[in-house]
Amino acid sequence: MKRVDDFRLRLGKHELVPIMIGGMGVDISTAELALVAARLGGVGHISDALVHDVSDRRFDTSFIKDKTKLYKYNINNSDKTDIKFDLDLLAEATRLHVGKTMDAKQGDGMIFVNCMEKLTMNGPRDTLRVRLASALDAGIDGITLSAGLHLGSFGLIEDHPRFRDAKLGIIVSSVRALQLFLRKNAKLNRLPDYIIVEGPLAGGHLGFGLDWAKYDLHTIVAEVIQYLKDENLEIPVIAAGGIFTGSDAVSFLEAGAGGVQVATRFTVTKECGLPDDVKQEYFKAQEEQIIVNTISPTGYPMRMLNNTPAIGSNIRPGCEAYGYLLDGNGNCSYIEAYNREVEANPNNKDFKVMDKTCLCTHMRNFKCWTCGQTTYRLKDTTHKLADGSYALLSAEHVFRDYQFSINNEVALPTQASST
């Protein structure tokens, strides 16, 4: 019976353990988590979501404080068109986060940055170009383009000296999306180095509608692999979404996938950036608590726990401090929803905004509990302690369980290491 370790992911000259840890934003996939994957020979992701805030927390910078002070005059104004990101500061924050992570890297694995293209930041093309180029400047091994396939992304960095050196990958949820991307970028003579196929059971933003349950990851992966074969394209396909055991992973590897991307089981590791009390919410979650809704201002459905504090929150839009989801005209659908409810409830400060949420502020404060469909199974991966809480795991334990387990088994940590 095969194990994940019997396979290898080939990216150019690199042969890797075929396990990627997904790039969960706002420092949930921390540098520490990515460094474990790289040390063990796989691929770890960090994320550049809210990178100024990540830098402030990690390196004692003051990007958010300074931006808030600069735009303080606009806090009570519903018009956010003035709120702009200083591109030099954006580059500085990105280089700090990426560069410090790469400086600490050990082992034969790789570290990528997950770049969410729906972070439009009131300047979609310019801010995306700076984020991509600055990550390359800082020595990142690769970039995964996620959360909205921007067909012109590669073109934004085609003049960068590392454009053909660094690994560049995309996330798709259908053959059609892949076809569109390849067609758009054909003139660049630069194929993706890997393609992550994310299925309907993934956490966070989904590449599906509310009919997500009609789709199946095995089917989509097989379609993408067949399409690449028909086009004589040798690009590794990475299966993602709902892969809970090493045996789940092997089923994709045996079917021709080059690797798997996993994240849910790493949310409850010590290295994950979620606060410990939130990790316990993930452990305690029941299957019926896992929902898909449309409260994200990005326009994409999003999977989360139904007790997440972000649902129904009436927090004032925090664009002066954050503003990562402002479109090119300074708009965000949460601002519209918030202002509508303020107008409808002039004498009620406890109103709820149910249809959208201030994703920037709530993600920054770890109050938007996005999760994968298999989150309810996390309680079966560890020990319940005497006080009723669950023992956190190490990222190395989870990684090696994926790498070496068989028969759909999940290895529990030793009691001593889980206290």
Could you write out the DSSP letters of every residue in 167-225?
EEEEEESSHHHHHHHHHHTGGGT---SEEEEE-TT-SEE-SS-TTGGG--HHHHHHHHH
pTM (whole model) above 0.95 = yes
Residue 348 and residue 395 in contact, taking contact as beta carbons nearer than 8 Å: no
Q: Which of 25, 50, 46, 26 is nearest to 36 (CA)?
A: 46
- CB 322, CB 361: distance < 8 Å: yes
For strands 19-21 and 259-262, give the pairing: parallel
| pLDDT > 90 fraction of the chain, expressed in percent and rounded | 96
The residues near 139 (Cβ < 8 Å, ≥ 6 apart) are 98, 99, 102
Residues 6+ apart with CB under 8 A from 224: 172, 175, 178, 195, 197, 237
pLDDT bracket for residue 151 (50, 70, 90): confident
pLDDT of 417 higher than 60: no
* pLDDT tops 80 at residue 150: no
Is 419's pLDDT higher than 60?
no
pLDDT at 416: 59
The pLDDT of residue 415 is 80
Q: Which two tokens stand for residue 316?
A: 């004032």
Q: What is the pLDDT of residue 149?
A: 64
Q: Which two tokens stand for residue 36?
A: 């474990």
pLDDT in tens, 54-101: 999 999 999 999 999 999 999 999 999 999 999 999 999 999 999 999
Strand order through the sheet with 302-305: 204-205, 302-305, 290-293
